[in-house]
Amino acid sequence: MSRLLMAAPSRLARELRYTRFNKFPIFNRHFAAKSTCKGAQEKKPPPKPGYFPSGGTHATFDDLPKPQGDFMKEWKAKNSRYNMALLSGIAAFVGTLFLCITSEDFRLYYDIPDYPYTEDEMEEFAKEEERREQEKEEREQRRQDRLDAKELKVRRRKAKEAMSREVELMQKDLDEGDLDEGEMAELIQLTQDREEFEAYEREELKRLAEQEKEREKIKKEKEKARQEQQKQRDKERKEREKGTA
């Protein structure tokens, strides 16, 4: 505002100097420069550097862009393009959603899915699981039997060596009758070891027999339980078939 007030006196003096021979002393140079000829307005020269199209060094309302043409026609044309873009986007979204649902690659989980296996398949899986458990138990039992047999074999070998040494010392005692204290103590120790081995062997054979009986008993119980389960499954299958029929 201060800039406008400072430039007003010099501009007024310039206007009066240029229009002192005119009829009206105060004459707007914008109206003076304005031509009544339509062609003259179209061929208006471009403004000088530092000046606006109105001719002044400051912008006025005449320098603002002026609307031209039919507003409703342009507005309808733009809205028609926008509506086409909106409808094409909606159609693309609906088509993509329909394609995903029909291809089953995009599940909305709006329903409870069916169980992936039938009753017959579940029975087969249960039988397979029982068979695997049985094979696992048999492998473990065979491994334990091998360890027990290996330990028994080692003990028998040591007992056989001890018995050979015991027989040798006893034969020497019978033939010569002069065993020293070391040989006598060794003979006594060998006799004790032989007796302990015989007791261990009896206990081991007894344990193996009891273990075999227990294994047979467990096997019979499992077989009985398996038969009961099979009967129950057959009964349920018949009931389902009767219900579906």
Q: What is the pLDDT of residue 87?
A: 97
pLDDT digit string, tens, across residues 194-222: 788 888 778 878 887 888 888 888 888 88
Q: What is the pLDDT of residue 73?
A: 92
Q: What is the pLDDT of residue 46?
A: 80
Q: What is the pLDDT of residue 30?
A: 45
C-alpha span between 203 and 176 (Å, rounded): 38
Q: What is the pLDDT of residue 221?
A: 85
Q: What is the pLDDT of residue 21?
A: 44
What's the predicted TM-score (pTM) here?
A: 0.35
Q: What is the pLDDT of residue 94?
A: 95
pLDDT digit string, tens, across residues 171-180: 776 676 666 7
Q: What is the pLDDT of residue 158?
A: 78
Quick one: tokens of 90? 């909606």
Question: Which residues, given as ranges, of the chain have pLDDT below 50?
Answer: 1, 18, 20-41
233, with CB counted inside 10 A (0-12, 13-18, 19+), is middle
pLDDT digit string, tens, across residues 36-57: 444 444 567 787 887 888 888 8
Q: What is the pLDDT of residue 27?
A: 41
